[in-house]
Every structure is written in C-alpha cells, then in structure tokens.
Structure 1
Amino acid sequence: MSKDNSKSEPELNAGHHVYRGMTKSELDVAYNNTEAVVDSSEHMENWIAQSAVIRSGDNAVLDVPYGAKPKNKLDFFKSASPDCGLFIFIHGGYWQRNNKDMFAFVAEGLCAEQINVATIGYTLAPDASLTDIASEIESAIDYLADNATQLGFDQEKIYIGGWSAGGHLSALLAQHPAVKGFISISGIFDLEPISKCYLNEKLDLSHEEIEVLSPANHALLATKTVTLFAGELELPELKRQTNDYAKTVSQSHKDLLHTIIEGKNHYSILEEIWQKNGVIARRIVDLMK
C-alpha cells in the first residue's frame, strides 16, 4: 500500500487542546513511558544482559533473513520438544527505538515450557513508515509459516505477541491467516493520539495510516484469540488504550482475556513473560499446549 503523504495535522499549537482535553505538551507527557518510570534504564540494562545469555545458547538460530532490508532478520529459539508451537514476539520502542537482540530474554521461560520463540527485527522510523514496518512484520510471519517444517515447529500453533509498539503490531497482524491469536502487552490500538504528540516527529503518520493501521478501527476475525495485558502502574493513556480496545473486541469475541497486572509498570510488566510462572507466560502456555 502506498503512503498518502498528506500530514495528519498541519500545525499543533502546544497551548491548544489537541486530544481529549490535553494540550500537545500534556499529550507528550501522557505517552512518555521512559520519563514516567524512573528505573526504566535499569530494566533495559537487565533485558540486554539476559538476552545476551539467551542468544548465546545452543538452541538459538540468529539473524535469519526474512527480507531484503538490513534489519529484516529474526532470531529463532528452539524448545527441547519437537514440533511444538511458535510464539512470535515483536519488540517495542514506539516503532523508532530498540531492536530484537534486546528482547531474547522473552524466550527463556517459554522455551522451558516447550514453546518455540521467534523475535522479529524490523526497520525503524524514520527510515521506514509505519506502513512499511507492518509490511515487514507480515513478511516475517510469511517466512516463518513457510519454513515451519525446516525450523521444526507446528504450523497450526502460531501465536503472535508484542510489547508497547509491538503490541500494536501484533494486533494489526493478527489477521494473518497463519496466526491463531495475539497477546498484546501494554499495546497501542488507536494511532490518533500518537499522530498529535512528539512521537509523530519520526513516524510522520498520514491520515490514511491513522485509519488503516489502527487496530481499534477494524473488526478482528472472531476465530482469533485475543489477550490483552497492561500494568496497574501504566500511564493512564496506555491503560485507556487497552481498556477501550477490550470493550470493542468483547462485542464479537468470546475468547478474550483482558488483565490489568497489579503492581506492574510499562517496563516491569515484562517480568511476567520472562519468568516461566509469570502471568503472561502462563497465558501463552495455556493457549499453545
């Protein structure tokens, strides 16, 4: 799909209300997770350190190309059990930061529970539009589904998930025919506020992208399993995004789990997928076993 280059907002005056009674400055704060969590850098340092250990394991197949662009690579972490399902994880960073290498830690608990894990790398904004990024993720899913036998997993048990921007992308790509359902962790479902705050400086979202790439705007096939997590200590806008999407999906989906995890913020919530007995890890295991 070609990108409509018309801007979503010609000029945003920081002193005027731009979204839900918030000025642009207030909206910037409402979506700034790094500033909201004082120890966010410590969480990320821990992720990087543990991910380096996981990526050095014998079960890791690293930097498998799924497309032509430099960041079109994925890592595959094989469980000890043959032909079990695959959980595809998409990293966050508001579509413009971080990389797959930092998030290999999510494979630790899941592989121990006999689930294969793939982490997806993708081109970041502004080097890619959100339309481009979504297309890259779709290509990664295509590659994995087409190579299930070679990689050694059950093609009938593919679930996709992600954190923050990755939660958005997992919801968006859940329509892929190979995907049985998705697990969003602290995800974004409506891009309108994103288009009106600091995050749009690199994303440069068009009106068309806001409409087409917002999961909240589109019905999801009722056969897809939907799982939504957010932390109790998330920024209010992040919790609202998840709550509003849960209300929308609940009208058509009986197989919906919407959970606010007590005591967790935007970063500490990932402990619940890292640890094999975590709330998120247990949900994934229950879905795939």
Structure 2
Amino acid sequence: MATIYRGMNRAELDTAYSNTGRLADFPGLMRDYRARSDALYAARDCRRDLHYGPGLRQTYDWISCGQPDAPVFVFLHGGYWQHCVKEDFAFCAVGPLAQGHDVILAEYTLAPQAGMTQIVAEIGLLLDHLAPQLAGRPLCLAGHSAGGHLAAMHCGHPVVGKVLAISGLFDLEPIRLGELNDKLQLTEAEVAACSPQRNIAAGPPMLIAVGADELPELIRQSRDYAETCRQAGERATLLHVSGCDHFQVLDDLADPQGVQLTALARLGG
C-alpha cells in the first residue's frame, strides 16, 4: 500500500488518528461522561438549548457560576466533527465554574449533514449571537479535539479574549486523506481554507494544550501549530499535560486546580 502522508499508508494514517482505538472501553467512558454531565446539569443554574441560529443543532447551554457579570468560558466539544453532543461533555464545566466563569456549552451541525465550511461558519454565528449579551465581559473560547480546531479557527473574532485549544486538529490534510473524510468529504480547497495551521490570524493569547500521552500525530499537530503561531508573532503557549491521553485531558479541565486552568489564568488578555 502506497504511502500518502508523512511516510504512512492509509491504514497507518487511520490508526495514527484513532483516539478511541487506544481505549479498552470507549462506550463505558462515554457513559461515565454522560452520568457526570447529568449530575452537573441537575446541580447548577442552567438555561438549556438556547438557539443562536435556525438550525436544529445551532443551540447552546448557558450555565451560571452564580456571580454577576462573570467572565464567560465557551466550550466546543469534539468528535471529529461527526460524533457526540454537548451534553456528553458538560462535566468539563466544573473547573471553569469553580473558578468564577459562566460556561457556555455549544452545539453545531455534524457531518454529513454539514460540511466543514458550514461547521466553521456556525461557530462564527454563535460568537456573533453572544456578542451583544456579553456587555464587555471577558470571553475565553475553548474546545477539545475537533472543538480545538474550531476554537483556533475563530481566535480572531473580536469578542474572544483568550483561546484554549485542547488536543486540536490544526492541519486538516491528514483528515482528508483517511477514513475520517468519508463523512466530511473535505476538498483540497477546504483544507486550505479551514486549517488553522495555514491561516494564522492575529488574535488574543492562546494556550495550546495536548496530553503528553496522546497519539504522536496529535502531539505533533499541537507542537507545529504553536510554533507557527509564535513565528507569526502571535502569543501562543504550548502545554503538554503530563500523564494524560486524549480523554484524560478533559478530567484535568474539569479540575479547578488542573494544569490547564492554572496556565490559562496566567495568560494575558
């Protein structure tokens, strides 16, 4: 089988990006996430399924920390743009809430119902919708995996004061070349337009976090993106989260004293 990307053939490339393939019980992990998320929803003041656009999945949940005019932490979930829902990852809000942030959990249309161009545009629509409601409140745009990609794509939006891109996909070319593209149907033009690595935008301070025990390709993507941002003069900090794989980084995010929130608090902006 011919090599197609960085010395890998298609089967090797698919394995290189299979985060779930490393887990013994991914369904069990997701059940645990959902139980923890349901408990959070039950315990907190939350407005659910608010609409930022007319689409069925163009919705968000706003969870209050109980403090007036609190800064806002927007979280975009992962799932390779084709799986999962915001309700799976609400437990991640525990950390930012404890640190005095209101948390917004955002939803977006998934492939194949939407292509990458539409998915990226929907996050812009969300931020435009939120802008008049913020009244000057600081906003951190955060996301994990595919959500990390979407956060990085909108680092230049005027409402964004900080970015936390966790385990993100910053160059979409390997996604286009593998099985993950079966539903996404990325084109070369879309890869060029929708890869943060190829579209460094002027923006606020950014924390690029990745688990130290993640797949080598995910670690490389974060390293390369952070370096490209710094070379362009952007304020990008790379953080390797010790002892964490692609999913354990979310447990660290949910920890008010976790290394990601600690590092995020040190950023300017």
- State TM-score, norm by structure 2: 0.95
Residue 53 of structure 1: how far off its partner (Å): 1.2
- State TM-score, norm by structure 1: 0.89
Alignment match of 1:212 (pick from 178, 189, 193): 193
Contact 1:100 1:119 in 2 (8 A): yes
Contact 1:110 1:285 in 2 (8 A): no
Report the CA distance shift for 1:229/1:121 in structure 2 as closer, same or farther (over 3 A): same
Residue 206 of structure 1: how far off its partner (Å): 1.3
Between the aligned partners of 2:147 and 2:197, the Cα distance in structure 1 is 15
Q: Give the equivalent residue in structure 2 for 1:11.
A: none
Between the aligned partners of 2:255 and 2:162, the Cα distance in structure 1 is 21
Alignment match of 2:184 (pick from 190, 193, 203): 203
Residue 219 of structure 1: how far off its partner (Å): 2.2
Alignment match of 1:32 (pick from 9, 15, 18): 18
State how 1:180-195 maps to structure 2 within 5 Å.
180-195=161-176
Gaps of 5+ in 1: 1-14, 150-154
Alignment match of 1:178 (pick from 129, 153, 159): 159
2:248 aligned with 1:268 = yes
Between the aligned partners of 1:120 and 1:230, the Cα distance in structure 2 is 21
Q: Give the equivalent residue in structure 2 for 1:110.
A: 96
Alignment match of 1:247 (pick from 218, 227, 235): 227
Aligned-partner residue type, residue 212 of structure 2: E
CA-atom RMSD in angstroms:
1.6
State how 1:35-114 maps to structure 2 within 5 Å.
35-114=21-100
Give the total of aligned pairs: 269
Instruction: Compare relative contact order (CA 8 Å, sep 6+) and give the higher one, 1 or 2.
Output: 1
Share of identical aligned residues, percent? Answer: 36
**Structure 1, residues 204-241: CA drift from partner, whole Å, max 9, x if none?**
001211000000001221x4111011111111111110
* 3-state DSSP of counterpart to 1:147: helix
* 3-state DSSP of counterpart to 1:56: helix
**Structure 1, residues 149-204: CA drift from partner, whole Å, max 9, x if none?**
5xxxxx34111011000000000011111112211110000000000000000000
Report the CA distance shift for 1:249/1:128 in structure 2 as closer, same or farther (over 3 A): same
2:126 aligned with 1:140 = yes
Report the CA distance shift for 1:288/1:244 in structure 2 as closer, same or farther (over 3 A): closer
Contact 2:152 2:163 in 1 (8 A): yes
* 3-state DSSP of counterpart to 1:117: strand
Between the aligned partners of 1:36 and 1:29, the Cα distance in structure 2 is 9
Q: Runs of 4 or more off by more than 6 Å in structure 1? A: none
**Structure 1, residues 24-69: CA drift from partner, whole Å, max 9, x if none?**
1110101111002334333322211111111223411100011101
Alignment match of 2:213 (pick from 208, 233, 239): 233
Between the aligned partners of 1:253 and 1:200, the Cα distance in structure 2 is 32
